């Protein structure tokens, strides 16, 4: 755990340069806008430890799968999130020396991520080896108002010298991936041009042939006037720049404004990219840094109105929740149904792929409550559009009759994960996709979604479950063999309680959905039945499975068992583990982990969380008390589910302890891996912890319920929820709970079990 960042309500602040933590800071201070983003690399270049990273949403490379023992059914490739061409560089040379913070004395270094404005700010004074002292103040953002534009304001003031200097202003597509199976470069040049004042490089990804056109234009200003200096243009393979030679005068500030435009062939025809880039660069430079910033900040102001959470009396918790909301919001804006939420967003390359079950199980509720309705809907439509690929994936694995297995990891609907115990066995992801449809409809009331999109997905998933489950003569029950549950520290187990539960729930829900659509929209129903060749016997089989499914349980303890044989393990608790043994996944052999009882992330408890209404308090308590002490929370997705259940059970201290762990996971580098990028999808879990955990929010029969409590460490907290056209603000303090209807028609909410009519 690290603690080098200053606590502040709206900002992340690093005071003093921390070369050893630089990669961590580069992740944490990342900026993005849903279409593109960058790690917080220094504009002027840095020869110290750094991981350079710029990313463009939806652009990936299918790296050939590399495994020891090839298993039939494996995908051919693993989708790599690609490090993309960069426009942020501003090389500074003063006399003969380059400005490089690893090579000079640095004072007053401050790096600030201003989350309110979405602005990355850095300032410092550097003394070069020849004694020249220069003050720098740099600001950068990726515009939320136009996802293809970014801007930098880079100010330099010589403090004790006048000298000749040069500025190198590149577009650089000659980039490498940290994560590459065969150490190759993934970008091939298509065209490049460099003229006085601007440069453009278009590069194509190998194999996938995405074209990304990246351009930069700049202006120089000093003493309130524009100047040009002496300009040289340079071209190299995958690279174009302008080098400006000029004179710096002691105590006279020079400002470099650099504008970046990034266009992808996913959004524009390839042949127009360069012209469009030119036009957008001109427009950006005409608007200027201040003008672009104003529109960008206005979008952020609106977003914060929708999604902010305030916590009074605990700055670390306040900073933590805002950081999580900020990163999630800048990763996914929901405007494009082809995009999704990568576990690292725009902050790193690790994990590859963009879509995991994380989206449905964790992120969807955040976007449902805090963004326009189409944002959450687009997350569902994304899966709907990939249904044919999920069916193909099913066929590849031997399933028939339109059974769909959605991929564990994907970019475009194809599976690109290749560890058999996960790719083939961690099939509970299918259940999360079905549950997301239910969750969306429960929240929005938009049942038409079932008619037009949802039912088709549900049928395909149910067909998969019906074929994946078999009847055991011995047990005279249905069973599901050879699976991996959410707890990836157990592989190839039989009857994972969570997977059995969500599978049968899907079968039941699909049955209800069929009845609903048949009644509501008979014509569409008939067309669908015809298209997918649905037969009535299928529902009869689903009902039989659901009524005769086997669920492992321990009747003596009154708990559901994670899987068959769980009680054969030596049942020890995490508190009895030595500190040196944590995290288990870095300290223990895999074999030892598999045999142990330790649980990576919520598994049985994930099921209890999803289907809470089915269980009484005593059952929830018994299961929580049994599993929480064995859970090591080595997935960032884990603590939030435990916070929510601990809150329900009144375990305030436990809930708060686990909340802090999720909220400050990256800021404090709890898992020692923030340098690879931030844990974007689990950030939604932090929001869930406050709203569903402490706030006790749930939707039941079309109404919002709250059952809040306040951690002892806080004075008050508040959040806003958008619900069916209304926006309500919930404020909880030690003395009272306030619910205020901010927009929309009067509505009823249920607070601590009592109905309350809210009016404006």
- Smallest gap from residue 411 Cβ to ligand BGC (A): 14
354-362, 445-453, 471-479, 621-629 -> range binding ligand BGC (CB under 6 A): 354-362
Closest to ligand BGC by CB, 259 or 356: 356
| Close Cβ partners of 330 (under 8 Å, ≥ 6 residues apart) | 31, 32, 33, 34, 37, 118, 142, 144, 345, 346
- Closest to ligand BGC by CB, 117 or 499: 499
Name the minimum Å distance from CB 635 to ligand BGC. Answer: 4
CB within 8 Å of 289: residues ≥ 6 apart: 139, 151, 152, 153, 257, 259
Catalytic pick from 26, 414, 415, 488?
488
Q: 696, 685, 703: which is closest to 730 by C-alpha?
A: 696
Neighbours of 650 (CB within 10 A): 11
In whole angstroms, what is the distance from residue 183 CA to residue 468 CA? 39
Residue 148 or 488 with smaller CB distance to ligand BGC: 488
Supply the minimum distance, in Å, between the C-beta of residue 630 and ligand BGC: 16
Helix (H, G, I), strand (E, B) or coil at 559: strand
Which is nearer to ligand BGC, 357 or 626 (by Cβ)?
357
b/e code 159-194 from CB counts within 10 Å (16+ = b): eebebebbbbbbbbbbbebebbeeeeebbebbebbb
Residue burial 473-496, b: 16+ Cβ < 10 Å; e: rest: eeeeebbbeebbbbbbbbbebbbb
Using the contact rule CB under 6 A, the part of the chain among 48-56, 353-361, 473-481, 494-502 near ligand BGC is 353-361
Minimum gap (Å) between residue 528 Cβ and ligand BGC: 31
Of 681, 718, 726, 739, the one binding ligand BGC (CB under 6 A) is: 681
**Least Cβ distance, residue 32 to ligand BGC (angstroms):** 18
Reported residue count of the chain is 760
Shortest Cβ 594–ligand BGC spacing (Å): 14
- Per CB under 6 A, which of residues 316..345 are in contact with ligand BGC? 343
| Minimum CB–partner distance for residue 343 and ligand BGC (Å) | 4
Which one-letter DSSP state was computed for residue 411?
S
Q: Which two tokens stand for residue 109?
A: 């270094």
Nearer to ligand BGC, 441 or 637 (CB): 637
Cα–Cα distance for residue pair 705/610, rounded to 1 Å: 16
Q: Is the dihedral of CA 411, 416, 419, 425 positive or negative?
A: positive
Calpha distance 482→484 (Å, rounded): 7
Q: How far is the CB of 487 from ligand BGC (least distance, A)?
A: 8
Work out which of 146, 314, 358, 439 binds ligand BGC, going by CB under 6 A: 358
What H or E segment, with its residue span, contains residue 372? Answer: none
d(CA 11, CA 114): 5
Residues 388, 414: Cα–Cα separation, whole Å: 10
Q: Check residue 492 and report its DSSP letter.
A: S
d(CA 383, CA 357) in angstroms, rounded, equals 11
Q: Is the peptide bond before 179 cis (omega within 30 degrees of 0)?
A: no
Could you tell me the CA-to-CA distances from 449 to 338, 380, 428, 433, 726 in Å, in that order? Answer: 18, 10, 23, 14, 20
Strand 254-264 and strand 211-222: the pairing is antiparallel
Q: Which of 55, 141, 356, 525 binds ligand BGC (CB under 6 A)?
A: 356
For the segment 104-133, give every residue that binds ligand BGC (CB under 6 A): none
Which residue stretch of 77-85, 305-313, 356-364, 431-439 sits at the interface with ligand BGC (rule: CB under 6 A)? 356-364
**Contact present, 388 and 396 (Cβ < 8 Å):** no
Of residues 41 and 635, the one with the C-beta less far from ligand BGC? 635
* Residue 542 host element (H or E): helix 536-547
Of 511 and 639, the one with the shorter C-beta distance to ligand BGC is: 639
User: How far apart are the C-alpha atoms of 422 and 482, rounded to whole Å?
Assistant: 11
Sign of the CA dihedral with 587 first, then 591, 592, and 595 last: positive
CA distance 404 to 429: 11
Match 């030892």 to its residue by tokens: 592
Stretch of 54-62, 128-136, 351-359, 380-388 lying at the interface with ligand BGC (CB under 6 A): 351-359
**Selection from 243, 233, 240, 232 nearest residue 174 by Cα:** 240
Choose between 549 and 680: whose C-beta lies nearer to ligand BGC: 680
Count of beta carbons in the 10 Å neighbourhood of residue 644: 29
Q: What is the closest distance, in whole angstroms, from the C-beta atom of residue 393 to ligand BGC in the complex?
A: 17
Is 250 considered catalytic here? no
Binding mask 485-504 for ligand BGC (x = CB under 6 A): -x-x----------------
In DSSP terms, 246 is beta-bridged to: 165
Instruction: Select 111 or 633, whichever has its Cβ closest to ligand BGC.
Output: 633
- Spatial separation of the C-alpha atoms in residues 133 and 250, rounded to whole Å: 10
CB of 614 to ligand BGC, least distance (A): 23
Nearer to ligand BGC, 259 or 346 (CB): 346
Nearest to 81 by CA among 36, 43, 40: 36
Identity of the residue, 165 or 408, whose beta carbon is nearer to ligand BGC in the bound complex: 408
Q: Which has the closest alpha carbon to 321: 717, 622, 744, 588?
A: 717
SS3 240: strand
Q: How far apart are the first and last CA of the chain?
A: 46
Site string for ligand BGC, 386-425 (x = CB under 6 A): ----------------------------------------
Nearer to ligand BGC, 285 or 596 (CB): 596
* Shortest distance, position 358 Cβ to ligand BGC, whole Å: 5
Q: Specify the residue, 308 or 634, whose C-beta has the smaller distance to ligand BGC.
A: 634
Beta strands in 84-174 (DSSP E): 91-94, 97-98, 105-114, 119-127, 133-142, 149-158, 163-172
SS3 540: helix
Distance of closest approach, residue 692 Cβ to ligand BGC, in angstroms: 19
Tokens in use for 226? 């524009």
Number of residues that bind ligand BGC (CB under 6 A): 11
Contacts of 137 (CB under 8 A, 6+ apart): 121, 122, 123, 154, 155
Q: How far is the CB of 611 from ligand BGC (least distance, A)?
A: 18
Spell out, one character per residue from 600 to 629, where the chain touches ligand BGC: x when CB under 6 A holds, - when not. Answer: xx----------------------------
Assess 637 for contact with ligand BGC (CB under 6 A).
Answer: yes
Which residues, numbered 450-469, are part of the site for ligand BGC (CB under 6 A)? none
Q: Which 546-605 residues touch ligand BGC, going by CB under 6 A? A: 600-601
Task: By CB under 6 A, name the one of 635, 689, 718, 726 that touches ligand BGC.
Answer: 635
Q: Which residues bind ligand BGC (CB under 6 A)?
A: 343, 356-358, 486, 488, 600-601, 635, 637, 681
Query: Which active-site residues does the annotation give?
Result: 488
């Amino acid at each position: 755990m690290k603690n080098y960042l200053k606590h502040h309500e709206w900002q992340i602040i690093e005071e003093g340069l921390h070369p050893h933590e630089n990669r961590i800071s580069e992740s944490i201070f990342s900026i993005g806008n849903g279409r593109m983003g960058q790690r917080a690399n220094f504009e002027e270049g840095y020869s110290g430890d750094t991981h350079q990273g710029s990313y463009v949403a939806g652009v990936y490379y299918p790296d050939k799968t590399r495994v020891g023992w090839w298993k039939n059914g494996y995908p051919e490739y693993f989708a790599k999130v690609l490090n993309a061409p960069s426009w942020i560089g501003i090389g500074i040379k003063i006399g003969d020396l380059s400005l490089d913070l690893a090579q000079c004395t640095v004072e007053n270094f401050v790096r600030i991520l201003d989350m309110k404005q979405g602005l990355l700010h850095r300032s410092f004074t550097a003394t070069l080896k020849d004694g020249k002292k220069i003050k720098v103040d740099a600001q950068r953002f990726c515009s939320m108002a136009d996802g293809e534009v970014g801007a930098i304001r880079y100010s330099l003031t010589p403090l004790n010298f006048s000298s000749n200097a040069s500025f190198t202003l590149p577009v650089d597509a000659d980039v490498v991936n940290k994560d590459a199976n065969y150490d190759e470069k993934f970008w091939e040049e298509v065209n490049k041009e460099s003229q006085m004042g601007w440069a453009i490089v278009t590069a194509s990804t190998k194999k996938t042939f995405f074209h990304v056109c990246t351009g930069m234009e700049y202006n120089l200003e000093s003493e309130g006037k524009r100047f040009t200096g002496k300009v040289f243009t340079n071209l190299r393979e995958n690279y174009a720049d302008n080098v400006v030679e000029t004179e710096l005068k002691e105590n006279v500030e020079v400002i470099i404004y650099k504008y970046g435009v990034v266009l992808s062939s996913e959004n524009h025809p390839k042949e127009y990219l360069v012209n469009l880039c030119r036009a957008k660069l001109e427009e950006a430079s005409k608007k200027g840094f201040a003008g672009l910033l104003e529109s960008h900040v206005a979008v952020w102001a609106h977003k914060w109105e929708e999604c902010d959470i305030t916590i009074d009396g605990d700055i670390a918790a306040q900073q933590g929740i805002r950081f999580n909301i900020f990163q999630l919001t800048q990763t996914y804006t929901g405007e494009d149904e082809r995009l999704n939420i990568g576990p690292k967003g725009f902050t790193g390359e690790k994990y590859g792929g963009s879509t995991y079950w994380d989206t449905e199980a964790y992120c969807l509720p955040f976007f449902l409550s805090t963004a326009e309705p189409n944002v959450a809907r687009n997350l569902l439509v994304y899966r709907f559009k990939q249904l044919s690929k999920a069916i193909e994936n099913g066929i590849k694995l031997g399933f028939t009759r339109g059974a769909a297995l959605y991929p564990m990891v994907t970019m475009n609907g194809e599976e690109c994960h290749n560890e058999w115990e996960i790719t083939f066995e961690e099939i509970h992801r299918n259940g999360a996709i079905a549950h997301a449809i239910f969750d969306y409809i429960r929240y929005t009331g938009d049942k038409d979604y079932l008619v037009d999109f949802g039912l088709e997905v549900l049928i395909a998933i149910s067909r998969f479950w019906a074929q994946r489950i078999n009847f055991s003569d011995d047990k005279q029950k249905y069973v599901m063999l050879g699976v991996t549950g959410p707890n990836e520290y157990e592989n190839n187990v039989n009857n994972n309680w969570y997977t059995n539960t969500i599978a049968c729930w899907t079968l039941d829900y699909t049955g209800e959905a069929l009845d609903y659509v048949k009644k509501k929209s008979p014509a569409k129903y008939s067309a669908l039945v015809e298209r997918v060749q649905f037969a009535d016997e299928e529902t009869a089989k689903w009902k039989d499975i659901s009524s005769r499914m086997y669920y492992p349980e321990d009747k003596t303890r009154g708990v559901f068992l994670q899987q068959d044989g769980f009680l054969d393990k030596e049942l020890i608790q995490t508190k009895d583990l030595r500190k040196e043994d944590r995290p288990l996944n870095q300290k223990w052999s895999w074999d030892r982990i598999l045999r142990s009882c330790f649980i990576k992330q919520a598994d049985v408890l994930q099921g209890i969380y999803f289907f809470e209404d089915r269980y009484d308090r005593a059952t929830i308590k018994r299961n929580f008390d049994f599993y929480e002490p064995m859970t090591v929370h080595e997935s960032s997705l884990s603590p939030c589910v435990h916070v929510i259940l601990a809150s329900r059970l009144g375990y305030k201290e436990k809930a708060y302890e686990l909340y802090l762990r999720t909220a400050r996971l990256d800021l404090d580098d709890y898992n020692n891996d923030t340098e690879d990028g931030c844990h974007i999808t689990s950030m939604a879990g932090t929001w869930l912890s406050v709203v569903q955990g402490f706030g006790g929010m749930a939707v039941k029969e079309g109404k919002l319920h709250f059952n809040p409590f306040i951690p002892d460490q806080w004075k008050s907290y508040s959040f806003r929820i958008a619900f069916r056209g209304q926006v309500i603000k919930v404020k909880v303090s030690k003395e009272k709970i306030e619910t205020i209807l901010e927009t929309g028609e009067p509505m009823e909410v249920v607070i601590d079990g009592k109905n309350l009519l809210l009016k404006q």
